[in-house]
Structure 1
Amino acid sequence: MKKQYTFLVLGLCAGLLTTACSDDDYTNDFTRPAGGNQIFFNCQSQLDENNKVIWAADSKIGFFCEQTETVNLAVGLAAPFVGQTEGLFYTQVIWNKEAGDHTFYVYAPYNKNNTSAKAIAGTLSNSQLQSGTANTHLMSSALTYATATSAEVETAVPMTFKHALGYMDVSCKTAAKYAGWKIKSIEFSTEDGVPLAGEYKFDLTTGQFAIAEGSSKVQVKVDNAPELVQNEAFHGYMSINPLDLSAKQCKVTVVIEKAGEDNDLSLEGNLSSVKILAGEFNTLEVDMDALTETVLGDNSVDLSANETANCYIAGKAGQEYRFNATVMGNGAVTPAGTNTTTFPGITPSILAPSSVAILWQSARSLVSGVKLKNNYVYFTLNGSDETPLVSGNAVIAAYDDTGAVIWSWHIWVTDADLDAKVQTYTVHQNYANFATYQSPVMMDRNLGATSAELWNSDTDSKDAHGLFYQWGRKDPLIGPSSENATSIAVVYDKDNNTIEPTDWATTTTPITRDDIAKYPMTIYGGASGISENWFAEDACDLWGSSVMYAVDGAEGKGAGEKSIYDPCPPGYRVPHPYVWSTFTSEPGGGKHKTAGFTTTIDGGIKTLQNTTGATFSSTYVYPATGFIAYTASFATGPALQRLSKGLANVGINNWSNAANAANRGARFFFDNGGCSTPAGNPRAYGYCVRCMKDTK
């Protein structure tokens, strides 16, 4: 089941202490240590009497104490206090009997980079996201802290957290004019450059909060807003630098939208007196009917203008995008082959979705504003002109009027210029007579990756390996977490709640052609399940290959074409199986121990253990990806075989578009035992994809 954040009334900070914490190694003490007299804390946080923190399982605080020489120790919540308003945080730090009174400084969210209690640092974004009428999004930016002095005791030291930020409640009301419209965004700004958001410094010893320079505007985008009702206020909430702006010129801009209207409206007006106090909700009354109205054009970018696909790359922070919601993939017909059993062909139909929504996303608020308008899916990226883009991946699903998924699209969020980073490969001389194989142009990273580098213990593995695919499927599967080789990476739903491993369904029943797009969060396999194929037929052309892979080149007819199930973005497709052929001296490769061939791997065959990946021909970087095994439960492991530094046979695994036998796909594979360029493996395995330029 999904983790739901539980709040009392506003519940401002319940999730705060989980969402902004470091992913790096730290000391977590979940139970009281035996023996000695360790220091532990009884922590609670509240904005007022009605709004207390509900501590979450992965809540962490940062802890300083000069008397015990403790500097920024990360301390985890004791398990019995999950879901409670009072949380015990045990440490292994022992009281210094010679020091007398101890002064403790604690804060949240934990930041590994804080090295002094006088220099807590962080960033308050000027682009924030609210879901509906709730104010729970404030948890992602709140900064709380506490100070206490105590002599040695055997009980918990009480710590009551204060809030360093101010919280603006922009109360928008219309008498009648805009009833039926929805709030899309609210922006509060100053005209003389006073910083309302940006990089901050906070002194735990004095309680002083400061932003030296930053953005003079804060915008809250609103997802799933209700329609405005006359004379009933809609409350937009934002975290903001606590300042007295009574003598400053301020402005509010409210953008509204309405179903059936082609254009949004911008409503602007000046404000007279605003004073923002730390640790309080500061209410700003806005009469929408008195604001100046401007009609806005559609400034979204059409990602499907030149070609439709199952994946779209988007990379400008704060930009709104759109794509055609009526086309299956690229909309192309894949003709049937001579053998209509294994190459039956594919004919798309027109999609007619009733609604769209985020299915999953790799970071909270990665994308927002997802809506269906005029047969297009609209969405907006995180960030702004002044707030950097958070990269990652999201899947947007289209639903029919019964709520069933009819199609879905992968949004690859990255500001890297992937077209400028492509690499031209050379195929093996044995294929010199096959014109369709020559000079394949490949991306420099796997599909969904936000890094083109080898990963190591200091980098995030999921940034490098990208997403995983069962052969022939268009739907991506999230890969393993960076912390645990047998657990999947955390993803979030449309409401920013954590999606548990059990929400990725695993079934032992192969899917039929009619249902091929309906279950994008289902992995076909299982401990007692599918022997080799996730599909109920041996169709070899799902990714557009016209013939079976053969080491002799299959008479030069194996390049294939892009199909409606191809997972690559416009202009690219799943590569033909010969693109890796010069990574070995012999087509197809083999086992290293036979010494029947050589490879172009930098550093020799042990490089995989040393660098968690390999570089071929000193140019082409392939991180160790491992795989998702179809023979075990995705939710409980060991479905994810991968990615621990020094782990032998982790392997590099990348699918091609071709099948090479019944129920098997052709994949590029390298580990310490051998290098296959390519070889076949069951299609139910989850491997990575590296996209090739589509020249057709």
Structure 2
Amino acid sequence: MNDNIIKAAICAILCCTVIACEKDVKPEQINPDALRVLTISEVKDFNAGTLTAKVTIPAVVMSKSEVLGTTMFTIQDGYESRDGILINHKSTHSYQAGDNILIDIDGCQLSKDDSFCTITIPNDKSVTKSNSTTAPYGAIIIDNTKLQSGNFQSMYVGLSGYEVIEEQISESVGKTLKFINKDSDTIRVITPSTASFAGEIVPELSGTIKGIALYQDGEYVIVPQNISDFAQLTEKRFRVQGDNQAILVWSGGPSLDSFVSEASTNEVEGAVSLDADGTQPANCFVIDKPGIYSFYAKNPLGEYPAGIPEETQIYIHVQEVGGNTVVGYVDPASKKILWTWHIWTSTVSLEDMSLTRNTTATDNNQTVTRSIVMLDRLLGAVNTTPGTAGPHGLYYQWGRKDPIIGVGIIGQFSSTEDESETEIGGAATASSSINKTYVEDWYFDDGDEETKTHQGASAYPTRYISNNDNAPSVEDITWAAVANPCPYGYHIPNSDESKAIWGVNASLNYGGMELVYHADGTTEGMDTETHLGFVLKGLDVWFPNNGNRARKAGRMLNLGRQHHYWCDYLNASGASGYAARIRDNQINPGAAINRGNACSIRCVKDYKEE
């Protein structure tokens, strides 16, 4: 039987051959009297043809006949060279995995067709089986590059970080399966339909797949020997690395990557979960240390916005804290933003900026005791220093989740007719860096049908919507949970919570009540000249006169003169949202302000009954 017929027979059974031999040694160069035992690696160095050396190969059978058939088996030796080879027995054999055997190579045929090696045994006398058995060698963990190199042909190997492709989840193992890793490298895993475990369902999880490395149709494949070769597929499925759909939308720093240097939908090892592995979804995440973080691309309801595949995670690299960045997920086809998340990189942790506020209000002929946990700063504030723009935070149109850029100054001209800017992006607006590939510079218009939904408006995070009828909150009565801009576990204050912050039951004039003071804590009243803000008696919190953005064009109003933050409810007509408004001599925990305006937000902690 010539070499081509041998090759055809082997391929017909398993379609497998063996690894390339790098050098040739003539059999007559081996002294049969001096060398009685050879390693598999040394045998592969012989020239192709009939072997005449009087030597043996000690090895362990690694394959099972139910998988490779009754005329084929693989052997592997335990020498330092650690090699394996495919044996064509020509006739039915009874060798099982773990059998210790000696192969007398004298008279055997070494095939090197297409530079691959196979030993064909002429008869049973060439193999001596020991009475003892050895546990088959453990799998050698390699990667796909090493597998395809051919250096591990016919050996028992394992490849880590693989999972069956999504299309073959729930299929049986008794077929050709395709496994993939995060880098999109694929391998074929082949189990004959006649194997006893062929009917088992392939695990859908990721991990290490094991088997004998054999050659088929121009590439190396894995041939599992029993169902336990699938047993280490126990880790959660991953997202295959591919085109990155996450982007940096805008940053409050001098460059787009000032705080968050990178956002990606491709997995980054060692990332710290911001959302407790998807169980604490939010539109805003607070980060107080540089590092690599991740969160699932969900809205606060725990849903993936339309167009975002389930299990998608976004990985971000925070290189500096002390500012704000908005990241988004982009549809790969339309290049439209499908959802955004506010990354608040603060120098203070969420826990450390939370404080308990206990008040007893006695005004307006009522005595009411209230207790809340509130943030000591406005959402997005970069510091709490009086007389600076840092405490002003970001601004939000009522009912909308996307933050609007803050301010770079702390006061305006005294006349409301002579404001310091005429529209958003003017002289009062803080500097920012915009990803102009996907969004425009800060601008205003009336919106349209698309912006009436929360996801539709999310596609335009730098767009100030001047027409309330086209706002995403047009159908909302209270601030929708899906658009909650606060971190997980916090929300926009309701009426009672707003009253608790100020320690009042309703609007009142605070003059002479020893309630409101300058930053020094001793000069009574609101400071509208120097630091432009105030503190409350007994509360170590700076309230900046942050003003608000006007509905029509988003220009700043009342900056340096009034303090505002939104509450979560509308008035009866739905035209106005309620906001805390503190101005010279008056505290109003719930003043009606047109909901198209943009005010700051002071988050309060969710209340949970013990």
Q: Give TM class, smaller chain.
A: 0.3 to 0.5
- TM-score, L = length of structure 1: 0.42
- TM-score, L = length of structure 2: 0.47
Q: Which has the larger radius of gyration?
A: 2
